[in-house]
Chains A and B, each alone.
Chain A
Amino acid sequence: MLRQVSRLLGRPIAAQQQVKMLAGRAFFSTDVPATPTEDSTFVESWKKLIPNIEPPKTPSAFMKPRPPPPSSIPSKLTVNFVLPYESVLSGKEVDMVIVPATTGQMGVLPGHVPTIAELKPGILSVHEGNDVTKYLLSSGFAFIHANSVADIIVVEAVPIDRIDQNLVQKGLAEFTQKLNSATTELEKAEAQVGIDVHSALNAALTG
């Protein structure tokens, strides 16, 4: 909360300075003109110590700034659902999402308390109006911020309709058998992981 406020105050001033400094240089529209105040200490200490080389950029320079927490509860939740290979949903406005946290299915509505949730393999359902889209997720994290933005970051996700029931049953049977015949700890752990994933898949399809 405080961080957002400080960013708000820093932004207009920094923006003006930046624009003056960079007037005439070609500037991509995706670049953020404002630099948060934290970076300026880095840039200054860099310039003092290493004046010949341009200071390197930091990730916050490439990111769109997040909106500040609104005064009243907004009507929609903004969801960013990202995988290493693609952003499945980015900045989409929805009514509700249900995430599979390690403590169970957690529903997130606009105006939710800021939360960091660790996710276990399970189903994510995104509710928008009357449409419900379900994805099966591997584990990951979900952050819910005070400004009703939910970030869900997982390693793999598959829409439910692309999963084959028979293969799931076969996989479950295979991994249960592996667990029974496992000798070393490593094999047991691997078989257990396989069982977890397949039973989650199974529950997703049937439930």
Chain B
Amino acid sequence: MAMAAFVRRGRRIAAASSLISSQPAVTVRSSLIPEEQAPLGVRYVSTQVVRNRMKSIKNIQKITKAMKMVAASKLRAIQTKAENSRGLWQPFVALLGDFPSVDVKKNVIVTISSDKGLCGGINSTSVKISRAVYKLTSGPENENKYVLLGEKAKAQLIRDSKKDIELSFTELQRNPLNYTQVSVLADDILKNVEFDALRIIFNKFKSVVSFLPSVATVLSPEVVERESEGGKLGGLDSYEIEGGETKGEILQNLSEFQFSCILFNAVMENACSEQGARMSAMDSSSRNAGEMLDRLTLAYNRTRQATITTELIEIISGKSALEG
């Protein structure tokens, strides 16, 4: 009799356990719990894995929030300076005009980018536009060269246009940007690169969420003279030159000054755009992390409740097996 009871109990327990093992907690997504990480012999999925994931995502969220705050404060600092520098290039455009469609032999494309990453798509946009301008201004007798400011443009352009890169400058923002630094940079470029037209490609800061890729054109003094004598800059001849020297020398100084002013404004605008883009990238990243965290929390709770339910079932069925 006792043996029969034992057997009956054994069969019931076995039935109960097989019932349980054939029904793993159905609501847990299998992708979250990789099979090999659950220890052997466990009849329910482990919450440890989910907990670890949640912890790491929470840390990521904190970091990206902090990066957003840092970018916001840097943006505030640099935005006033950039807006103040906007008056700098306007007199030059008023005097010399702006002719991106000028046809010259030696084009130098100055691409401005950032050194650090995690700033959204602005560097890719700048590089895309630089490549397009290269294509646009290339012709049978034209030679195009790149001058790169910033690490990110170098990384992207070195892959396929390595022989066209004339100069590259990095670590511009180690000290806060100022005109002296940019004018030294401009001097370097003017000394080492021969050009008929310089095209500066940067992201103009329109607002915190909008950056417009722009191209500013600076012509060399010879081209300015050529155009003023019978081309697009015909009005320039009507200007008298006060300076004592020849027109050529004045145009030389003018062209160099124009380049350094436009470059200064371009570098400032790009820096603003970089901080703004980083702010919005980090913001969307922390929002994304928050959503993932919500989903994981739900999954975790379901797993936990399934575990508890399973235990309860075991206990109850064990008790009922003992009694009945």
Contact = CB atoms under 8 A, between A and B. Distances in A.
Interface of A: 1-4, 28, 36, 38-39, 41-42, 45-46, 49-50, 53-54, 56-60, 62-63, 66, 80, 82-87, 90, 101-103, 106, 113-118, 140-141, 143, 145-146, 149, 151, 153, 155
Nearest to A89: B87
Given A50-B136, A58-B215, A117 B93 contact: no
Interface stretch (B143-151, B166-174, B236-244): B236-244
4 residue pairs, one from A and one from B, having the closest CB atoms: A151-B91, A87-B87, A117-B242, A42-B101
Candidate in B81, B91, B101 with the most chain A CB atoms within 10 angstroms: B91
B134 to A, nearest CB: 11
Given A49-B136, A84-B85, A113-B240, A63 B95 contact: no
Contacts of A59: 89-90, 93, 98, 214, 216, 262
B94 A143 contact: yes
Contacts, number: 153
Contacts of B24: none
B232 A116 contact: no
Interface of B: 81, 84-95, 97-101, 128-129, 132-133, 135-136, 179, 183, 201, 204, 206, 212-217, 232-235, 238-244, 250, 253-254, 257, 261-262, 264
A3 B84 CA distance: 28
A155 B242 CA distance: 19
A67 to B, nearest CB: 11
A11 to B, nearest CB: 14
B235 A82 contact: no
Contacts of A46: 132, 136
16 contacts: A38-B232, A45-B101, A49-B135, A57-B214, A59-B262, A60-B93, A84-B264, A87-B84, A90-B87, A103-B244, A116-B243, A116-B250, A117-B242, A140-B257, A149-B94, A153-B91
B135 A145 contact: no
A85 B84 contact: yes
B48 to A, nearest CB: 49
Nearest to A3: B235
A66 to B, nearest CB: 5
A2 B234 contact: yes
B132 A53 contact: yes
A35 to B, nearest CB: 10
A116 B242 contact: yes
A177 B242 CA distance: 33
A79 to B, nearest CB: 11
Contacts of B250: 116, 118
A84 B261 CA distance: 7
Contacts of B264: 84
A49 B212 CA distance: 20
A116 B98 contact: no
